[in-house]
Amino acid sequence: MTFLGKLFVKTAVISMIALTLPFKANADSETAEKVVLQIVQSAERALESLSESQRESALFDFTDEAQRRNWSNLPTGIYERKGVRMGDLSESQQMAILRVLEATLSDYGYQQVIDNLHAEETLANPDASGRLKFGKDEMYFSILGKPSTEEPWMWQFGGHHLALNATVAGNRVTLSPSLTGGQPMRYEFKGKEVWLLQNENQLAFQFLSTLQEDQKKLAVVGSRFAGMNFGPTARDIEPKPEGIPGSDLNHKQQEILLDLIQERLGILHPVLAEPEIRQAKQNIERTYFSWLGPEDKGSAATFRIQGPTVLIEYCPQNLGGDPNNHNHAMFRNPENDYGAEIIDALD
């Protein structure tokens, strides 16, 4: 059985990896310091599992800005990544890398990665002669700096439709910027249906349904879905306010909007995500929600959430037929992109 067949899956399927990767302890019993130590130790073990030449490929200076920004939703053949390629590693090396992700992410976030990898395998064609390459083998892992509980460092994992950039600084971690999504968004795995980003999709329509007509006039800014404005190549991530501000929402509407924000911020381990979630709550009245597309539930529509510390985009894509079956979802924190805020706090 390949490593993908052993991955830890909670909601879509139950697989053998549950025997080797434990469930996270209750977040209430953990501290940020303990979680970061687990991340550091997992990263150190992952590096130890690599050969000398593989480590040279995986490691970059923490100040390497080109590698820091070297992420994309595009497949191999269009976009060139650096680091160690998962398809070039043994199963045990692959698992060591996945344990870094498992230590850093929430159960829900780790599940997104697993579901993304399964979806990506449906596109893989190892016998194809074209330049575009898909599948789990085309995921790359890299580390900038040295894993540490004191000095800042960063790990990156990604490929087609997946880009996780985790900056670690002391007992703080951010995933700004990060991108998940997939194609297909809905597929069958071992007889069970998997729906990527189902919660976000349904919560967005739920929130929209609570708006009164005068509120919708502010929130709905376009009749058709649109692509990402603030994805991999964007340097300006402080857009002008657009849509309906949280100050124009009632308490219940604010709660649903916060639930939607937490779906994306909650990809990170709950103990580590708490500071950014708290900031989002504090700034909810200055946070804007905008919608582009039809309002009927299940339609292909884009939504954006933008606030002082939150920038979220959910964008269907035309390529591949049904736009609902090809999506990009992105998070950035304008005040903490690539860990700027938490790195400054160490000084």
Is residue 131 scored above 90 in pLDDT?
Answer: no
Q: Which of 243, 252, 254 lies closest to 311 in space, CA to CA?
A: 243
| Per-residue pLDDT at 4 | 54
Q: How far apart are CA 147 and CA 153, in angstroms?
A: 6
pLDDT of amino acid 234: 87
Predicted confidence at residue 7, as pLDDT, reads: 54
More confident residue, 25 or 297: 297
String of DSSP letters for 329-341: EEEE-TTTGGGHH
Percentage of residues of the chain with pLDDT beyond 90:
82
In whole numbers, what is the pLDDT of the chain averaged over residues? 90
DSSP state of 301: -
Residue recorded with tokens 């779906």: 263
Q: Output 8 or 48, whichever has higher pLDDT.
A: 48
Q: Which amino acid is at 149?
A: T
pLDDT of residue 63: 97
Give me the mean pLDDT over the 173-189 stretch.
94
- The predicted model gives 306-322 an average pLDDT of 91
> CA dist 22 to 10, 33, 96, Å?
11, 19, 14
Give the tens place of pLDDT for each residue, 157-175. 999 999 999 999 999 999 9
On whether the CB atoms of residues 49 and 92 are closer than 8 A, the answer is yes
pLDDT at residue 5, as a whole number: 52
Is 31 a residue whose pLDDT tops 70?
Answer: yes
pLDDT score recorded for residue 239: 84
Cis peptide before 126 (omega within 30 of 0): no
CA count, 13 A, side-chain hemisphere, 131: 5
Q: Which of 92-101, 245-254, 318-327 has the lowest mean pLDDT?
A: 318-327
pLDDT class for 281, splitting at 50, 70, 90?
very high
